[in-house]
Amino acid sequence: MQFDIRRFDIYRKVPKDLTQPTYIGACISVSSMALIAFLFTSELVAFLTPQIESVLYVDDPGEREQIPVYLDISLLELKCDVLGIDIQDDAGRHEVGNFDNLRKSQMNGGKGCRIRASFKINKVPGNFHVSTHAKHSEAGRNINFKHQIHQLMFGEPILSNISKHYGVADTSFGPLNGQDASKDPLTGRETFEYHLKIVPTVYAHHGASTDKSKELHGYQFTALKKSFEMNAHGMRMLPAIWFKYQLTPITIKYSLEDKPFYHFLTTICAIVGGTFTVAGIIDSCLFTAHEVFRKIEMGKLS
């Protein structure tokens, strides 16, 4: 006996001359195809448009012990050789003056200095400030800290990754960018203070394969500005620009996860199979009801 693989065919074909087309069946078929096309398009758009979710959790200070900082600021009335940046915190750190990754460039024909600095701060309350230190005599008696902040950023740049999906504004990660303190009424003796509240922010992108997974650590922050003349016991103190920061214990995590392609295929199969199954049930019910009414009209229903 010859083996015939057609025995395994579970989709047996009914001869066309044994089938009966109906208007109801045609309407249901067209409606089903339109519904499948609509659901397929919607699912394709959802598959190609990544969704980002946000969660809050308590930060672990030991997970990343230091925070990268980038500062770009212009002092409009002081020379570069009298300026430096101090870093202090509640853990006992105190760095004075110049350090690695500090670049100063003279501006405005020798009057004015632009400072670009990259450094790290500990995850404890503290401050960093721009001042003249012991070089105040070289700066002159009327030390003026008129300034413009071009950029102040904590951590890695993640705004571009989440803004297009989550609508996070630039002011959340750089509220002091473009800050111009040169137009305020100044006497030349003001100290400027910026009080910062820093919120750790994580952006995680999990691709369909582990090779695409990445995690970036940035920091959103708010800033409150104050300016005043400093005096101690009737003696004038040297002005400066202070950035005093505190960190919140809560971390915001934005997660972006690519959907695997097999999920898309599974959904499409469910859409097609489910639509045809439901359409077949509806067609069968309507056809049976139509036959019953037709027999009633003809008086053949017993």
Tokens coding 238 = 């040297």
Residues 6+ apart with CB under 8 A from 282: 28
What is the β-pairing status of strands 235-236 and 102-106? unpaired
Share of the chain above pLDDT 70, in %: 82
- Is the pTM higher than 0.75? The answer reads no
Q: How many angstroms from the chain centroid is the CA of residue 1?
A: 68
pLDDT, one tens digit per residue, over 23-80 is 888 888 899 999 999 999 998 888 887 777 778 888 765 566 789 999 999 998 888 8
What pLDDT, on a 0 to 100 scale, did the predictor assign at position 61? Answer: 59
Please report, rounded to a whole number, the percentage of residues in the chain having pLDDT higher than 90. Answer: 26
Arithmetic mean of pLDDT, 263-268? 88
Evaluate whether 56 touches 202 at the Cβ level (below 8 Å): no
CA distance 278 to 152: 59
The structure tokens listed for 12 are: 């047996």
Across the chain, mean pLDDT equals 81
- Is residue 200 within 8 A of residue 165, CB to CB? The reply is no
* Residue 195 burial by Cβ neighbours in a 10 Å radius (0-12, 13-18, 19+): middle
Which residue matches tokens 């249901």?
Answer: 28
Look-up: residue for tokens 């609508």? 167
Q: Pairing relation of β-strands 84-89 and 231-232?
A: unpaired
For the four alpha carbons of 257, 262, 264 and 270, in that order, the dihedral sign comes to negative
* pLDDT, tens only, 166-224: 555 556 888 999 888 887 666 667 889 999 999 998 888 766 554 556 788 889 999 99
Per-residue pLDDT, 11:
72
Residue 196 is predicted with a pLDDT of: 96
| Per-residue pLDDT at 210 | 47
